[in-house]
Homo-oligomer: A and B are copies of this chain.
Amino acid sequence: MNNTSPLQKKRLEYKPSIPEILKDLKNAHFKTIKGTQPHESLKKLFPKTFDQPTHQLVQRGAGGLPPTRSAFKTGVVFSGGQAAGGHNVIAALCDAGAKVIGFLGGPSGIVDNQWIEIDMEKVAPYRNQGGFDLLGSGRTKIETAEQLAASLKTVLEHKLDGLVIIGGDDSNTNAAVLAEYFLTKGCETRVIGVPKTIDGDLQSADIEISFGFDSACKTYAEIIGNIARDALSAKKYYHFIKLMGRSASHIALDCALATHPNLTLIGEEGKGLHKIVNEIADLICHRYEVGKEYGVILVPEGLIEFMPEMKALIKDPTAAENQAFFKTLPEKIQNQLTMDKDPHGNVQVSKIETEQLLMDLVKKELKKRDFKGKLNAQEHFLGYEGRACMPSNFDANYCYALGLLAALAVREGLTGVICSVQNLKKPPREWQLKAVPIVQLMHLEIRLGKEKPVIKKVLVDIKGESFVYFSHFRKSWEIEDHYRYPGPIQFFGDPELTDSLSLSLMV
């Protein structure tokens, strides 16, 4: 039996569209430009990489310098959760002429020196395919002195010119730390970050979006659209759909623009628990009044983290008003708050079953209101369904450009930089490429009493264009049903279907 589907095969043949500048890699080089000034406080932690400029990729003029190296070797690693398109970063490294080794199972593969060689033949079946299965992934951070030393040993043993770290905020912080550490130790290995995460929370002046967000949102939106159409046809269920995305509500917001659910909760609005419960109860009552006992409600995974009462409770559980709030919670949630603490004694907000909490309280509220209708609820959680999907054309193109850019950054000896592709709303040929010092994205945070450099997660900006656009329309989606059905991602045919960018990025 053939283990490769017809679509997998067809996608192997896809040739990513690339920016003009990347069509002639030999003549591409970096010129330095002014970037964002990093926080001064970071200077002491990054003395060697702090002061470097931003690098823009440009065509080498007639008198320009030739490439720094003709042959170069780079390591590459996937870090953290899957995002569609990651394999194309690696394919591009190979296509750019790098000798590539891949570290296995995430950053621990660097520490433990677990690796495979990746050549053209090895990468061939992974082109334009989802997942991170060529190498696997993992969440180890390279932090301790031992881990750093082991990593140094690994890159020296392999005589790597570069190490490309494909990851989110933490992994790119880690890339900056490694870059600085290698320089301190006189090691020539360059460290390059590639912005990956479906959550969409890794953004900056130079990073418009991380790869994987587009494909994940489109896959979730396909499913939400299907569920909405089912709701409208069967007219008997309320579908509560929780969406992955950690703290930020970017995915929920994007899916809302794509599918027009009756209610979309956005954590960043900072609404209190009981306000949210009342909003849901209001929705259900108002829809009941017009004869509707069904609906679709989107709930971002991180919702609870933004609730003021919840934050207060976690900060000071014994204060009278926080105790009063605690007592309004269902017993199961009370137990979770009391019992499920992390090793540092912090409440594990992410483990609280948000949708269960909302459901319980909404039912209670409806009872209080003497609601005469029915509430048949169906719960869904969309996460693993879309992280490792086949990359959309956008993510396939974007990742391929990121990979070529990373290869050039290694070739030209840049380090502690993250790959930046801009002008993403435009066709790939118009994209602009830069290598941006990761320190520009960072600041210092006090964590467990210690100063730590971090890339701050970018949350939904409730004054930003996408949210404002959404908030302009959402009222009209509440009672009348204006569900929108995006359908499955298309790879062939009209570019409007195949090459469009997910909606929250297009607003």
Using a CB–CB distance below 8 Å, which chain A residues touch chain B?
Answer: 1-8, 10-11, 78, 81-82, 105, 129-133, 136-137, 219, 222-223, 225-227, 229-235, 237, 239, 258, 260, 378, 380, 384-390, 469, 473, 482-494, 496-497, 500
Given contacts A235-B105, A390-B485, A494-B10, contact A385 B227 (CB under 8 A): yes
Q: CB within 8 A of A5: which of B219, B227, B486?
A: B486
Out of B1, B78, B490, which one reaches A7, CB within 8 Å? Answer: B490
Q: Assess A497 versus B232: contact at CB under 8 Å? Given A129-B485, A384-B227.
A: no
Instruction: Give the copy number.
Output: 2
Q: Are B388 and A233 in contact (CB under 8 A)?
A: yes
Q: In whole angstroms, how far apart are the Cα atoms of A473 and B1 in the complex?
A: 7
- Complex CA gap A7/B218 in Å reads 12
Minimum CB–CB distance for A196 against chain B, Å? 12
Give the residues in chain B near A493, CB-CB below 8 Å. 10, 491-493
Q: Which residues of B contact A137 (CB under 8 A)?
A: 233-234
Interface contact B219-A226, CB-CB below 8 Å: yes
Interchain Cβ contacts under 8 Å between A and B, 26 examples? A1-B469, A3-B260, A3-B482, A5-B485, A5-B486, A6-B494, A8-B485, A8-B487, A11-B487, A82-B230, A129-B229, A131-B233, A132-B233, A133-B233, A136-B235, A219-B488, A226-B384, A226-B385, A226-B386, A226-B387, A227-B388, A229-B389, A237-B384, A385-B385, A491-B493, A493-B493
**Of B105, B385, B496, which one neighbours A223 at CB under 8 angstroms?**
B385
Contact between A496 and B130, CB atoms less than 8 A apart: no
Which residue of B is nearest A224, CB measured?
B385
Bound-complex Cα distance A488 to B392 (A): 10
Q: Contact check, B258 vs A5: say whether CB atoms are below 8 A apart.
A: yes
Task: Specify which chain B residues have a CB less than 8 angstroms from the CB of A7 in the assembled complex.
Answer: 485-488, 490, 497
Alpha-carbon distance A283/B258, docked complex (angstroms): 40
Chain B residues closer than 8 Å to A105, beta-carbon distance = 235
| Chain B positions within 8 Å of A229 at CB level | 82, 129-131, 133, 388-389
A222 to B230, CA, bound (A): 18
CB distance from A362 to the nearest CB of B (A): 20
Q: For A237, what are the chain B residues with a Cβ–Cβ distance below 8 Å? A: 384
Contact A81–B130 (Cβ < 8 Å): no
Closest-by-CB residue of B relative to A489 is B488
Bound-state CA distance A230–B387 (Å) is 7
User: In the complex, A490 Cα to B78 Cα: how many Å?
Assistant: 29
Q: Report the bound CA distance from A486 to B223 in whole Å.
A: 16
Q: Considering the chains assembled together, what is the distance between the CA atoms of A81 and B234 in angstroms?
A: 7
Across the interface, A492 reaches (CB within 8 A) one of B78, B390, B492, namely B492
Chain B residue with the shortest CB-CB distance to A237: B384
A5-B484, A6-B496, A10-B494 are known contacts; what are 17 more A-B pairs with Cβ within 8 Å?
A: A1-B473, A3-B482, A5-B485, A7-B486, A7-B490, A8-B484, A10-B497, A82-B230, A82-B234, A130-B485, A131-B229, A131-B230, A131-B232, A137-B233, A385-B385, A389-B488, A490-B492
Residues of B within 8 A of A10 (CB): 493-494, 497
Which of A6, A136, A230 has the most chain B CB atoms inside 10 A of its CB?
A230
In this complex, the member of A3, A8, A484 whose beta carbon has the largest number of chain B beta carbons within 10 angstroms is: A3
Across the interface, which residues of B come within 8 angstroms of A234, CB to CB? 81-82, 132, 136-137
In whole angstroms, what is the CA distance A238 to B440 when docked? 40
Inside 8 A of A239's CB, which chain B residues have their CB? Answer: 384
Residue of B nearest to A2 (CB): B484
Residue of B nearest to A235 (CB): B136
Q: How far is the CA of A487 from the CA of B491 in the complex (A)?
A: 10
A179 to B484, CA, bound (A): 38
Q: How far is the CB of A363 from chain B (nearest CB, A)?
A: 19
A148 shortest CB reach to chain B, Å: 25
> A384 to B82, Cβ gap below 8 A?
no
